[in-house]
Amino acid sequence: MKQPCKHPRVQIVSRDEESEFVECKECGEIFDSSEFKDMNIEESAKDADV
């Protein structure tokens, strides 16, 4: 089974007054930067549980 991308490298592709969108340079997924921050928090919590 393929491991999900952890988005190690991202770049900003769009920004406005309320939001900022980033694109993963590895898998091409585009998402709101606030989601990216949430992903990092969740990953840190999983690592702390180990």
Give the model's pLDDT for residue 13.
Answer: 92
Give the model's pLDDT for residue 21.
Answer: 92
Q: Token pair for residue 31?
A: 């998402």
Which contacts (CB < 8 Å, 24+ apart) does range 35-43 have? 36/7, 36/10, 39/6, 39/7, 43/6
Higher pLDDT pick, 21 / 36: 21
> What are the phi and psi torsion angles at 11 (to 5°)?
-135, 150
Give the confidence band of 20 by pLDDT, cuts at 50, 70, 90. Answer: very high
Residue 47 near residue 35, CB atoms below 8 Å: no
Q: pTM of the predicted model, to two decimals?
A: 0.64
Q: How does pLDDT run across 23-40, given as a tens digit for each residue?
A: 999 999 998 888 766 666
